[in-house]
């Protein structure tokens, strides 16, 4: 048993507490018995002295001198062996029983008393040897001193055995935990069937391992997908360069190849930036200082930037926002990115000549931004997956995306305490709604001194009636 193991410490504590309790019990038992025996002895002696005093008073009225002593001697015959009596008077009367001096080595319990008969003062001493009492106490002490260590020894042995049994699952759990590593996260700790604290601990650790395993699986999937996605543009760049260099060509051909390489490099850069942003948001190292931002300004900017691209495909972008400021706590660059991602998708998945609407309004506690398109819509089967990394509903459709846009959008929304909701119908279009927590509505209400609810719902209504 190792000196610092729980089993060792439990056993030592157990033995120490038991030894203390037994020592206290033994001491109290011994002292109690000693007092009891002494009190019995004292009562015996007092009774004997009483009887002797009465006898002496009666006899001394009738007899005197040696006759009286003979009578007293006769009385004393009935006394227990080894006990003694001594009587002295101030007028010189003495009586000793027995005549001989007691052995010096013998210990006595003695009581004495004084009494007076016809003006003569007597001093009486009655003694009884302590031998029997001391012998009984010695026997008890010997029994206690030899039995207590034996009891402690047996109990400690039992305690050590019990704690070993109770802690055996811990050794098994430790051995199983030892075998679990980042390469082998599928192992689980044994859960003892006892239903006790150790079983609970084991179960909780197993749940933690489940979460870790799933996180590691997601992470390695992410790395695998990222490498896969990086390979394609790199291969395009390489083959384009190799093909162009295979033989001498017209300058226009080189220019075309370089343009293609430039475009691929740009896509690659975007992909790497997205990956970096996602990796940073995963590790929580994104620097995102928040400040009060009026969403309407950002919407305007994003719509302006997308207008040109949309126009090329005959898609109209309209922004319908409330007249009141829609202020939230946000990072302006990240918010711009989030709305850009949603609007980019809305345009990307719209049919040529379609329409994209961006709406913004607020209710009691939230500021909402909606991006609605009348495009291809999202299949119900794809819906649960669209926010996953590298998920693209229809890979064959192309469109240049990597399936990272929505997961990026979601992680930006999360950093703002916002949620993204999606409604979509295949063939009819989709609505992405982001709900931000409003920035101190109360303050704004107080400043504008208008009933908050009326103002906010009014804002939404105005937006809808503008359609």
* Cα–Cα distance measured from residue 2 to residue 4, given in angstroms and rounded to the nearest whole number: 6
| Number of residues counted as binding ligand ADP (CB under 6 A) | 21
Interface segment toward ligand ADP; rule CB under 6 A; list 38-46, 185-193, 373-381, 413-421: 373-381
Q: What are phi and psi of 433, to 5 degrees?
A: -115, 125
292 three-class SS: strand
Q: With respect to ligand ADP, which residue has the nearer C-beta, 321 or 347? A: 347
The β-bridge partners of 378 are: none
388 three-class SS: coil
Interface segment toward ligand ADP; rule CB under 6 A; list 91-99, 110-118, 133-141, 375-383: 375-383
Token couple for 376 = 């291809």
Binding-site member from 191, 241, 393, 415 for ligand ADP (CB under 6 A): 393
Q: Where are the alpha helices (DSSP H) in 197-294?
A: 197-245, 251-283
Tell me: does residue 439 bind ligand ADP (CB under 6 A).
Answer: no
Q: Quick one: which of 103, 48, 44, 43 has its CA closest to 72?
A: 48
Q: With respect to ligand ADP, which residue has the nearer C-beta, 88 or 270? A: 270
Interface segment toward ligand ADP; rule CB under 6 A; list 176-184, 211-219, 325-333, 389-397: 389-397
Q: Are 208 and 201 in contact (CB under 8 A)?
A: no
Q: With respect to ligand ADP, which residue has the nearer C-beta, 163 or 350? A: 350
Binding-site member from 373, 374, 413, 452 for ligand ADP (CB under 6 A): 373
Tell me: does residue 402 bind ligand ADP (CB under 6 A).
Answer: yes
Q: What are phi and psi of 401, to 5 degrees?
A: -80, 165
Q: What are phi and psi of 87, to 5 degrees?
A: -125, 130
| Cβ 211 to ligand ADP shortest distance, Å | 24
Q: With respect to ligand ADP, which residue has the nearer C-beta, 115 or 390? A: 390
| Cβ 424 to ligand ADP shortest distance, Å | 7
* Chain centroid, CA 422 distance in Å: 37
Tell me: does residue 97 bind ligand ADP (CB under 6 A).
Answer: no
| Cβ 384 to ligand ADP shortest distance, Å | 11
Interface segment toward ligand ADP; rule CB under 6 A; list 301-309, 319-327, 331-339, 342-350: 342-350
* Cα–Cα distance measured from residue 182 to residue 252, given in angstroms and rounded to the nearest whole number: 53
Cα Rg of the chain (Å, integer): 52
Q: What angle do CA 387, 398, 411 make, to 5 degrees?
A: 20
Binding-site member from 133, 349, 418, 438 for ligand ADP (CB under 6 A): 349
| Cβ 8 to ligand ADP shortest distance, Å | 58
Q: Which residues in this chain contact ligand ADP in the complex, by CB under 6 A?
A: 345-346, 349, 373, 375-378, 386, 391-394, 401-407, 430
């Amino acid at each position: 048993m190792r000196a610092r193991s729980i089993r060792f410490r439990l056993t030592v504590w157990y033995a120490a507490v038991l030894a203390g309790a037994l020592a206290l019990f033994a001491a109290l038992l011994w002292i109690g018995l000693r007092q009891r025996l002494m009190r019995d002895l004292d009562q015996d002696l007092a009774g004997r002295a009483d009887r002797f005093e009465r006898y002496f008073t009666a006899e001394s009225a009738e007899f005197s001198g040696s006759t009286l002593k003979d009578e007293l001697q006769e009385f004393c015959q009935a006394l227990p062996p080894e006990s003694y009596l001594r009587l002295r008077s101030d007028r010189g009367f003495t009586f000793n029983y027995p005549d001989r001096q007691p052995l010096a080595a013998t210990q006595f319990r003695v009581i004495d008393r004084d009494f007076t008969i016809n003006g003569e003062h007597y001093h009486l001493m009655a003694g009884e040897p302590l031998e029997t009492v001391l012998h009984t106490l010695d026997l008890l002490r010997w029994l206690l001193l030899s039995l207590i260590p034996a009891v402690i020894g047996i109990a400690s042995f039992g305690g050590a055995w019990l704690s070993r049994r109770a802690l055996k699952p811990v050794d098994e759990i430790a051995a199983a935990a030892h075998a679990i590593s980042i390469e082998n996260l599928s192992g689980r700790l044994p859960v003892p069937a006892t239903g006790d604290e150790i079983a609970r601990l084991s179960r909780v650790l197993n749940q933690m391992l489940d979460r870790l395993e799933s996180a590691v699986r997601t992470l390695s999937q992410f790395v695998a997908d990222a490498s896969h996605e990086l390979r394609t543009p790199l291969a395009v760049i390489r083959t384009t360069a190799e093909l162009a260099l295979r033989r001498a060509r017209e300058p226009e051909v080189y220019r075309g190849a370089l343009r293609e390489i430039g475009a691929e490099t740009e896509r690659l850069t975007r992909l790497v930036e997205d990956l970096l942003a996602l990796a940073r948001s995963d590790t929580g190292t994104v620097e995102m200082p928040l400040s009060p931002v009026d969403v309407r300004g950002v919407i305007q900017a994003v719509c302006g930037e997308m207008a040109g691209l949309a126009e090329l495909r005959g898609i109209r972008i309209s922004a319908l926002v409330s007249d009141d400021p829609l202020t939230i706590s946000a990072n302006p660059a990240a918010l711009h990115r989030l709305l850009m991602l949603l609007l980019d998708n809305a345009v990307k998945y719209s049919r040529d000549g379609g329409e994209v609407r961006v709406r913004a309004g607020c209710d009691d506690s939230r500021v909402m931004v909606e991006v609605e398109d009348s495009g291809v819509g999202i299949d119900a089967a794809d819906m649960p997956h669209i926010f996953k990394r590298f998920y693209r509903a229809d890979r064959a459709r192309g469109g240049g995306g990597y399936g990272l846009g929505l997961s990026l959008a979601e992680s930006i929304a999360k950093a703002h305490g916002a949620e993204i909701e999606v409604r979509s119908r295949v063939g009819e279009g989709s609505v992405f709604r982001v709900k931000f927590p409003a920035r101190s509505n109360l303050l704004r209400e107080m400043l504008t001194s208008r009933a908050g609810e009326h103002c906010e719902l009014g804002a939404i209504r105005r937006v809808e009636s503008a359609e």
